[in-house]
Amino acid sequence: MFNRSKAQAIALLAAVFVLGGAAGWGVDTWLRHDSRPHGPDAFVSYLTKELGLDSAQRDSVRAVLDRHHPQMDTIWRDVHARVDSLRHVMRAEIFTHLTEPQRKKYLQLVAEQAHQRGDSAADTTHGGRH
């Protein structure tokens, strides 16, 4: 049976999904379209400007960033792979609920999003299903 608590749980999950997607999109957009330089050099420069780091401190901060860079890369790769996997599943599920004209438009929207993200390998067939 579909009772009120299940409906509330589904509504909450949908709200969390929408908010999470919006937050992810916002962060992704900010990271990809931000004209400021990125990376360790930019971060060291930022800290130098904001905190007045001297030469020795800059070198120490750079060493910390260099030392942990492989760990950060591993974590980011894992997170991105997990997000991409979930995005793939969600697209496939959404695809099943659309009419044929909606599916065609949806595939176009997915392709546009992939292009905006610079993801040339995005699977846009059948809503992202294999």
Same domain, 23 and 63: no
Query: Could you tell me the pTM of the whole model?
Result: 0.46
Q: Which amino acid is residue 42, in one-letter code?
A: A
Angle at 105 between CA 101 and CA 108, to 5 degrees: 145
Same domain, 68 and 110: yes
Angle at 13 between CA 5 and CA 27, to 5 degrees: 160
The whole-number pLDDT of residue 120 equals 54
Can you give the residue range of the structural domain that contains 30?
1-35
Cβ–Cβ under 8 Å, residues 54 and 94? no
* Residue-wise pLDDT tens digits, 2-46: 677 777 777 777 766 666 665 565 555 555 555 566 788 999 999
Same domain, 73 and 124: yes
Same domain, 56 and 4: no
Q: In this structure, what DSSP letter does residue 97 have?
A: T
The whole-number pLDDT of residue 19 equals 60
Same domain, 71 and 108: yes
Q: In this structure, what DSSP letter does residue 126 have?
A: G
Report how far residue 41's alpha carbon sits from residue 32's, in angstroms, rounded to the nearest whole number.
17
Instruction: Provide the pLDDT confidence category of residue 116 given band limits of 50, 70 and 90.
Output: confident
The whole-number pLDDT of residue 130 equals 41
Report how far residue 7's alpha carbon sits from residue 1's, in angstroms, rounded to the nearest whole number.
11
**What CA dihedral angle connects 85, 88, 90 and 91, to 10 degrees?**
170
The whole-number pLDDT of residue 22 equals 57
The whole-number pLDDT of residue 60 equals 95
Which is more confident, 118 or 109?
109
Total structural domains in the chain?
A: 2
Same domain, 106 and 63: yes
Same domain, 84 and 99: yes
List of residues 6+ apart from 123 with CB closer than 8 A: 88, 129, 130
Same domain, 51 and 29: no
* Residue-wise pLDDT tens digits, 54-81: 999 999 999 999 999 999 999 988 898 8
From 3, 112, 111, 116, select the one nearest 125 (Cα to Cα). 111
